[in-house]
Amino acid sequence: MSDKAPSPVLPSHDDVNLDRAAAILGEGGLVAVPTETVYGLAADATSPHAIAALYAAKGRPRFNPLIAHVDSLERALSLVDLSPAAQALAKTVWPGPLTLVGRHRDDSPVCDLARAGLDTLAVRWPDSPAMTGLISRLNRPLAAPSANRSGSISPTTAQHVADSLGSRVNLILDGGPCRVGLESTILADTPDGLVMLRAGALEAEHIEALTGKALKRADASAAIAAPGMLKSHYAPDCPLRLNVTEPAPGETYLAFGQWRGDSANAVLDLSSTGDLAEAAARLFAHLRKADALGKPIAVAPIPPEGLGEAINDRLARAAAPKDN
Ligand code: TXA
Ligand code: MG
C-alpha cells in the first residue's frame, strides 16, 4: 500500500471495476465497498494477512471482531450454526441490514483474527450488488467493518472514505450515498432466543412483527455483547450535546422537524418533515459537515421509536466523553 498517492475511486456499477477489486482482495488487499447501510472496508475473511492489514488501516483494536459478509444464506450456514428462528428471520430480511451472531463452525474458513479469537461469528448478507459481486467472484466471505478510522464517524459516501482512510485503502468503489445510512442491526442467536446487541437499520418493532416475540436487548453487563460497542464512538472532534430545543448562539444545530431558528446558528436539517428514515440517511454526513464548521454541535430531540432507537444510540456514543 502506498503512503502517498490517494486511493483510486472507481464506480461500483462496472464489472471491470469489480474484477479489478476482486483481484486486489484475492492478493490480500483492502477495498472500500458501498452497502445499503454504510461503506465497508472489505478484506478476505479467510486470510490472516489481509485481516491484519485491515485492523492496521482502521486503527482498530484487535479484540473487536469483524462481520463476515456473504452472498447467500447457504454461505452463511457454511460459516455459522443458526437456529431455525434465526434462519427464518434471515430468509425474510436478507439481503438486508441484519447481522446475526452464531456459533462459528469448525469447518469454516474464516480466520481466528477476523473473529478476534471468539468462538462466535457475525454474518450478514448485505443488499449490495458490489459486495455480493465481489464475494461471488472470490468465492470467499469478506470481512467488512465500516470504512472509517476506528472511533470516528461512519462513512456514507466514497468521499467520506477517502477523507477518513486516505491512502490506507487500495481501491474505493463509489456507489453514491448509502440508501439507509446507519449500520445493520446485530442480533445474537442464543439458546434463550434472539438478543439485540446493536440497534441498527432494521427496526426492533419490525423484527418483533416478523418473529412474533418481544426482542431482548443485551445490557452492558451481559455476557454476550458486541465488543465494538464502545461508549465513545462515531465521535466528531467538536463537543456535541443532545436533546436541545434551544441551541445557544454559535452552536451548529442539527434540527429535526419544524425549526424556526435565527441567524445566530448554522442549521443542518436532519429532516424538516420529521421523517426518521431521512434523518438516518443524513445523520453521519451532517455530523461530518457540522464538525467541519468547528463550532459546538447541538442536536434536536429524536423520537426513540423505530429507526430513532439506532439514531439515538449513535448520537449518545458521539456525545460520550472520549477517554480512549
Ligand atoms: O452495516 C454494517 O453492519 C456495516 C456494513 C459495512 O456491513 N458494518 C459494520 O461493521 O458496522 P463494524 O465492524 O463497524 O461493526 C461490527 C460490530 C462491532 O461492534 C463488533 O464488535 C460486532 O459487530 N461484532 C462482530 N462480531 C461479533 C461477535 N462474534 N459477537 C458480538 N459482536 C460482534
Ligand atoms: Mg463501525
| DSSP string computed for 26-89 | HTT--EEE--SSS-EEEEETT-HHHHHHHHHHHT--TTS--EEE-SSHHHHHTTEE--HHHHHH
Name residues with Cβ closer than 5 Å to ligand 2, which is an ion: 146
Q: Are 135 and 69 in contact (CB under 8 A)?
A: yes
Domain range list for the chain? 9-217, 240-319
Whole-angstrom distance, CA of residue 83 vs CA of residue 124? 15
What pLDDT shows up at residue 2?
45
Q: Which ligand 1 atom is nearest residue 126's CA?
A: 7
Among 94, 104, 146, 314, the mutation site with the greatest number of ligand 1 atoms within 8 A of its Cβ is 146
What pLDDT shows up at residue 1?
47
Whole-angstrom distance, CA of residue 4 vs CA of residue 170? 12
Among 55, 60, 82, 99, the mutation site with the greatest number of ligand 1 atoms within 8 A of its Cβ is 99
Q: What pTM was computed for the model?
A: 0.93
What would you measure as the largest C-alpha separation in the chain, in angstroms? 62
318 Cβ below 6 A of ligand 1: no
Q: Residue 146 has what DSSP assignment? A: B
184 Cβ below 6 A of ligand 1: yes
**The listed CATH number (3.30.360.10, 3.90.870.10, 3.30.420.80, 1.10.150.20) that belongs to domain 9-217:** 3.90.870.10
Distance 66 CA to ligand 1 centre (A): 5
Instruction: Identify which of 234, 77, 78 has the alpha carbon closest to the alpha carbon of residue 88.
Output: 77
Q: Which ligand 1 atom is nearest residue 184's CA?
A: 1
Distance 153 CA to ligand 2 centre (A): 8
Q: Which ligand 1 atom is nearest residue 40's CA?
A: 6
* Cell numbers linked to 200: 441498527
What is the pLDDT tens value at each position of the chain, 324 positions in all? 445 688 999 999 999 999 999 999 999 999 999 999 999 999 999 999 999 999 999 999 888 999 999 999 999 999 999 999 999 999 999 999 999 999 999 999 999 999 999 999 999 999 999 999 999 999 999 999 999 999 899 999 999 999 999 899 999 999 999 999 999 999 999 999 999 999 999 999 999 999 999 999 987 655 556 666 666 677 899 999 999 999 999 999 999 998 877 767 899 999 999 999 999 999 999 999 999 999 999 999 999 999 999 999 999 999 988 754
